A and B are shown apart, each in its own frame.
Chain A
Amino acid sequence: GNSVTQMEGPVTLSEEAFLTINCTYTATGYPSLFWYVQYPGEGLQLLLKATKADDKGSNKGFEATYRKETTSFHLEKGSVQVSDSAVYFCALSRGYSTLTFGKGTMLLVSP
């Protein structure tokens, strides 16, 4: 079946540090891949997505590249801010409208 594996958190960084959150997936066919972010007390928000191999999704300084050969979609940001503190979920779509999520990775950024 389809599954998503994320690195466990929390990830603790100082402001302006480089961020990587690893995500690998198992899926049949060619899924679309997503990163969602959940800020405290709020719903999940779509951060970025990629729909085919070698696509790079980017938004708000975050990037992730769809790597089919390594079945990965790692999230990166060059310089994190305190306001980036949140829980990040990697997800894939199976079929037209169904999402499979990873467990989520909490990011804590200190000043």
Chain B
Amino acid sequence: GAVVSQHPSWVICKSGTSVKIECRSLDFQATTMFWYRQFPKQSLMLMATSNEGSKATYEQGVEKDKFLINHASLTLSTLTVTSAHPEDSSFYICSAGRGTSGSTDTQYFGPGTRLTVL
């Protein structure tokens, strides 16, 4: 149990277009979802935390208008990269937390989405 999926697994887009990435908890309800970004040979950097039905909390330095996060249901969160540019190319990973408190040891991670902006 506790499977998290992401779609698409990879995407290539032109500069200036928007890309939406979906994160789904397949067999549990996730009150909290997290979005991370990972550069090659770098750490996972937390971008934002989203709770179902409320606005996402963004980490310092992450542009809210650039990376739109929607957590409309207990099993789905989406990350939209708006007006993508080559510097947005990266590996985006989501995780989902179980329960109302979202404690760290119950974060379940998706397989990631590779975004390449040409």
Residues of A within 8 A of B (CB): 4, 32, 34, 36, 38, 41-46, 49, 89, 93, 96-104
Kindly identify which residue among A4, A97, A100 contacts B107, using a CB–CB cutoff of 8 Å. A97
Chain B residue at smallest Cβ distance from A48: B105
- 30 A-B residue pairs with CB within 8 Å: A32-B104, A34-B104, A38-B109, A43-B4, A43-B110, A43-B112, A44-B44, A44-B93, A44-B109, A45-B109, A46-B107, A49-B105, A89-B44, A96-B101, A96-B102, A97-B49, A97-B97, A97-B101, A97-B102, A97-B104, A98-B34, A98-B49, A99-B46, A100-B46, A101-B43, A101-B44, A101-B45, A103-B42, A104-B41, A104-B43
Contact between A42 and B111, CB atoms less than 8 A apart: yes
- Give bound CA distance, A14 to B41, whole Å: 23
Task: Specify which chain A residues have a CB less than 8 angstroms from the CB of B95 in the assembled complex.
Answer: 43-44
- Give bound CA distance, A77 to B100, whole Å: 35
